[in-house]
Amino acid sequence: MKANAEVRLKFPSSKHLKNIYDALLPEIDKPVGGRARMTLKNHEPYLILKAEADDTVALRSTLNAFLRWINSMAKVVEILENSS
C-alpha cells in the first residue's frame, strides 16, 4: 500500500523560508531509510513538503521528523532575532 501527503507551511519572510529550505536539502538528497521519499519546494511564501511512503507508518515517521526539524529551526531563528 502506498501512502502520500502534502504539507504547506507559510513563513513570515523569504529569508526564513530560504534558510530552512537550505538546511533541509541534505536530508532530501540523502534519505536515511528506504521506505519513504520526500520532495521539497520553495514556493514563496510557502515551503511545500511532499512525502510518499510504502505504508502509513513510514509516512507518519518521516513527516514527524521533518516537521520537528522545521519547528526546531524556526525556534532558533526566532531566538536569534530576539536576542539582537
Domains along the sequence of the chain with CATH: 3-83 (3.30.310.50)
Relative to beta strand 3-10, strand 36-43 is unpaired
Name the strands in the sheet holding 3-10, side by side, starting at the edge strand that comes first in the sequence.
3-10, 46-53, 36-43
pLDDT tens for 31-82 read 667 889 999 999 999 999 999 999 999 999 999 999 999 999 999 988 888 8
- Cα–Cα distance between 37 and 63 in angstroms, integer? 10
How confident is the model at residue 70, as a pLDDT? 95
How confident is the model at residue 83, as a pLDDT? 87
How confident is the model at residue 33, as a pLDDT? 72
How confident is the model at residue 23, as a pLDDT? 93
- Cα–Cα distance between 36 and 11 in angstroms, integer? 25
Q: How many helices (H) and strands (E) does the chain have?
A: 2, 3
> For residue 82, what is the enclosing H or E element?
helix 56-83
